[in-house]
Amino acid sequence: MSILVVGSVAFDTVETPFGRAERVLGGSASFFAVAASFFVPVNLVGVVGRDFGEKQLAAFAGRNIDLEGLERTEGLTFLWEGKYSYDLNSRETIRTDLNVFEFFKPRIPASYRSSDVVFLGNIDPVLQREVLEQVSKPRIVACDTMNFWISRKAEELRKTLAKVDVLLVNDAEARELSGEWNIVKAARAIRAMGPHTLVVKKGEHGVLMFSDEGSFAAPAFPLENVFDPTGAGDTFAGGFLGYLAGAAGPGDQELRRAIIMGSTLASFCVEAFSLDRLLTITRKEIDARFRQFLELTRFSE
């Protein structure tokens, strides 16, 4: 059992109303890999520059994360800078330096090709398909995307979505992709494009899942201290897919538990900058918070 992730490994500079973190470890594949590694071995495919050193690599050490697919090349690592509004619900991208990520061509090592689950992080949909061409029959193919690709590479994205089982996007992206304002209509339209399961992330308002079995909603865990939402979506995806990869099958009950596991991991992510909190949690803490979700949503008829 293993999971393959392709995505960004980055330096992030993040400003929230509670502080600022400079050049800390970020990137979609980093958050995803650490979250998923609590459940199954993770095969990471990405690229970093020569400025990515031992200190950053240490975050992945001692975990179930294989780095054979993390290419190191001449140049600088992808750098992203963002600033959050006071309520943390919106953020402004101050800077995106693609650097070595601009010429990224995912190469999947032979030992990764039989991964059971594949997560195509938010990269060019053409590259996402190239990844799928290099793997043999994964049990689940999941994908993330963003407004940039929805508006600039609509046709290519459609071709990729035809090969995807699970799409994870936020509500604005679901609306833009479908051309439907209503999220239920948007889900129907997107599921007709290929993915049988659609997960719509709504930040502090939780998650909605649409599948063959109907719909399922989960709140975000109510926290007293939210410090930095960066990476929450990718961490959610790591918890969700990591759990599914280790589960017997993607039936309705497994999908529902996976949504709660994703929400659990994401709730830890936002408690500190970068991956700081994710790197200190234990499986025991994860399971305890997972159980708290039962209490949070329990009611009687």
The residue among 223, 206, 204, 226 whose CA lies nearest residue 215 is 206
Residues 180/171, Cβ–Cβ less than 8 Å: no
Q: Is residue 178 near ligand AMP by the rule CB under 6 A?
A: no
Identify the residue whose tokens are 């600033």. Answer: 83
Q: Is residue 232 near ligand AMP by the rule CB under 6 A?
A: yes
- Cβ at position 188, least distance to ligand AMP in Å: 25
What 3-state class would DSSP assign to 250?
coil
Q: Is residue 115 near ligand AMP by the rule CB under 6 A?
A: no
Which phi and psi angles does 101 have, rounded to 5°? -70, -20
Torsion angle of alpha carbons 68, 41, 166, 289, nearest 10°?
-130
Q: Is residue 106 near ligand AMP by the rule CB under 6 A?
A: no
- Cβ at position 120, least distance to ligand AMP in Å: 12
Q: Which one of 56, 122, 178, 211 is in contact with ligand AMP (CB under 6 A)?
A: 122
Q: Which one of 27, 46, 242, 262 is in contact with ligand AMP (CB under 6 A)?
A: 27
When the beta carbons of 32 and 38 are compared against ligand AMP, the nearer one is 32
Q: Is residue 26 near ligand AMP by the rule CB under 6 A?
A: yes
- Cβ at position 190, least distance to ligand AMP in Å: 19
Which phi and psi angles does 17 have, rounded to 5°? -60, -10
Give the contacts of 166 (CB within 8 A, at least 6 positions apart): 140, 141, 142, 143, 195, 196, 197, 198, 199, 241
CA atoms of 186 and 84, how far apart (whole Å): 27
Report which residue's Cβ sits closest to ligand AMP.
26
Looking at residues 72 to 101 of the shown chain, list those that interact with ligand AMP (rule: CB under 6 A). Answer: 80, 96
When the beta carbons of 80 and 293 are compared against ligand AMP, the nearer one is 80
When the beta carbons of 197 and 274 are compared against ligand AMP, the nearer one is 274
When the beta carbons of 91 and 188 are compared against ligand AMP, the nearer one is 91
When the beta carbons of 116 and 171 are compared against ligand AMP, the nearer one is 171
CA atoms of 225 and 227, how far apart (whole Å): 6
Token digits for 26?
A: 């970020």
Q: Tell which phi-psi region holds residue 5, choosing left (phi > 0), alpha (psi between -120 and 50) or beta.
A: beta
What 3-state class would DSSP assign to 247?
coil
Q: Which one of 66, 124, 228, 234 is in contact with ligand AMP (CB under 6 A)?
A: 234
Radius of gyration of the chain (CA): 18
Q: Kindly indicate which of the ranges 8-16, 48-56, 185-193, 218-226 contains the residues binding ligand AMP, using the contact rule CB under 6 A.
A: 8-16
When the beta carbons of 28 and 64 are compared against ligand AMP, the nearer one is 28
When the beta carbons of 28 and 43 are compared against ligand AMP, the nearer one is 28
Token digits for 4?
A: 């393959």
Residues forming contacts to ligand AMP in the complex (CB under 6 A) are 8, 10, 12, 26-28, 80, 96, 122, 230-234
